[in-house]
A = this chain, B = another copy of it.
Amino acid sequence: LTRAHFIPDALDEITRYLAQCKASIVVVSGGLGPTTDDLTRDAAALFMNVPLVEDALALEKLTSLFAARNVALTPNNFRQCLFPQGAEVLYSTVGTAAGFRLERGEQNFFFFPGVPREFEWFCQTYLNLEKTSHQSSTLLFFGRGESHLENDLAGIEELNVSVGYRAAYPVIELKLSGASQDVQHALSFAKTRTGQWLIAEDDESLSARIGRLLKQRAMTVATAESCTAGGIAAEITRISGSSEWFHEGFVTYANHAKVRALGVLTPTLEQFGAVSQEVACQMALGAQRVAESTYAIAVTGIAGPTGGTELKPVGTVHFALAAPDGVWHRHFVFRRQSREGVREATIVAALTFLLHHLEERLKDYPTLGPYAAEDVMTETGPHESPLSRS
């Protein structure tokens, strides 16, 4: 893919753009729906200087689809059966919009619906690009800044790959592209140099990696969430089959819920506040006990934008991991982040904490940071000090 362009929904703009495209394969996404702002088919006909003609098979498919669903066709639906004369119609089994293909000289223009699920299906079904030996792989890192990662990876460009970094808060993405065997070689190099920060690869997400390790050991994890309010449990259960390692989670947003559901002690809340090491540890131990799980992850923090104090600014989050060998604690301040940013960082940090324990990286890498080059998190408290179980 050499270029990507967004064109407004205007007939002349789309037509002009098609005319000036030089690529041998042009994929156009969107504008094939039934509404009046769906102008791609009209622009394609103008561009080829041909009329729009109705395709009988498309009409038949649309009519029977609506009949099967017992829904009336509206007049605008019929526009979806019109195609530029001479186009190859590309029928769909995943939506109401068909696509089409046009040829001009050596160029091939593919017109696909823009609904992401449908677009993906059309690419897989109709875009039979020749397989190449070119490969592109992505590694995700957490807890290390972009410029430090680049220093760790000094020399990787000499392995004949193209290297791209992207700060996609709270993680850093490293994308390696090139000939397959060069990329494989560079991946090994990158993992050796930066493995302690690696949390996911393009073929295995953080949740999938954690799930695989728990499943192998027939272990389970429970969650006890305050500031993320279910976001960690939702992330763990993205993985199909996660009911094998995840049975239950607790969203204890209010203090009285922490007390009732997890057995957090009221005097602890009063003495240390809800956002504290002590409460996080009691939440984790409570969740582990009630859910009868091997592990429990607990988070309590200040997502903001209000509620921060000088001692506990917005972004302060306490993490606790109840494990078979005791309860572990971490403490981050995710600085200068929006409410959503703090919550997203908390989800990744919580799962990373569990991953580190499962991969026995706690001792090898006793600190997670600093991540301060990009100023997104700082470890400020005691961390990973095993406490005795209460």
Which residues from chain A sit less than 8 Å from chain B, CB to CB?
2-9, 33-37, 65-66, 69-71, 74, 76-77, 94-96, 115-117, 145-148, 150-151, 157, 162-165, 167, 169, 223, 225, 228-234, 236-238, 240-243, 246-254, 256-257, 261, 291, 303-306, 336-341, 343, 370, 372-375, 378
In whole angstroms, what is the CA distance A8 to B4 when docked? 9
Q: Is the CB of B372 within 8 A of A69?
A: yes
Q: Is the CB of B240 within 8 A of A304?
A: yes
Candidates B65, B74, B249, B372; contact of A151 at CB < 8 Å? B74
Smallest CB–CB gap between A30 and chain B, Å?
Answer: 9
Candidates B71, B94, B96, B165; contact of A33 at CB < 8 Å? B165
Q: Is the CB of B237 within 8 A of A249?
A: no
A-B interface, 4 closest residue pairs, ranked by CB to CB distance from nearest: A230-B230, A249-B251, A247-B254, A230-B233
Q: Is the CB of B237 within 8 A of A247?
A: no
In whole angstroms, what is the CA distance A248 to B36 when docked? 45
Q: Is the CB of A37 within 8 A of B248?
A: no
Q: Which residues of B contact A253 (CB under 8 A)?
A: 233, 237, 242-243, 246-249
In whole angstroms, what is the CA distance A256 to B373 when docked? 46
Q: Is the CB of B2 within 8 A of A3?
A: no
Smallest CB–CB gap between A211 and chain B, Å?
Answer: 13
Candidates B66, B76, B240, B248; contact of A257 at CB < 8 Å? B248
Candidates B66, B223, B338, B340; contact of A230 at CB < 8 Å? B223
Interface centre among A157, A230, A242, A375 (most CB of B within 10 A): A230
Q: Is the CB of B117 within 8 A of A306?
A: no
Complex: chain B residue closest to A371, CB-CB? B71
Q: Is the CB of B261 within 8 A of A248?
A: yes
In whole angstroms, what is the CA distance A373 to B69 when docked? 8
In whole angstroms, what is the CA distance A229 to B226 when docked? 15
Complex: chain B residue closest to A237, CB-CB? B229
Q: Which residues of B contact A373 (CB under 8 A)?
A: 66, 69, 71, 74, 77, 96
In whole angstroms, what is the CA distance A253 to B222 when docked? 10
Known contacts A146-B33, A248-B251; A5/B3 CB under 8 A:
yes
Q: Which residues of B contact A69 (CB under 8 A)?
A: 370, 372-373, 375, 378
Write 11 A-B pairs (CB below 8 A) sorted by A numbering: A9-B164, A33-B167, A35-B146, A71-B370, A74-B147, A74-B150, A95-B374, A115-B169, A115-B374, A230-B233, A248-B261
Q: Which residues of B contact A343 (CB under 8 A)?
A: 234
Candidates B240, B251, B337; contact of A223 at CB < 8 Å? B251
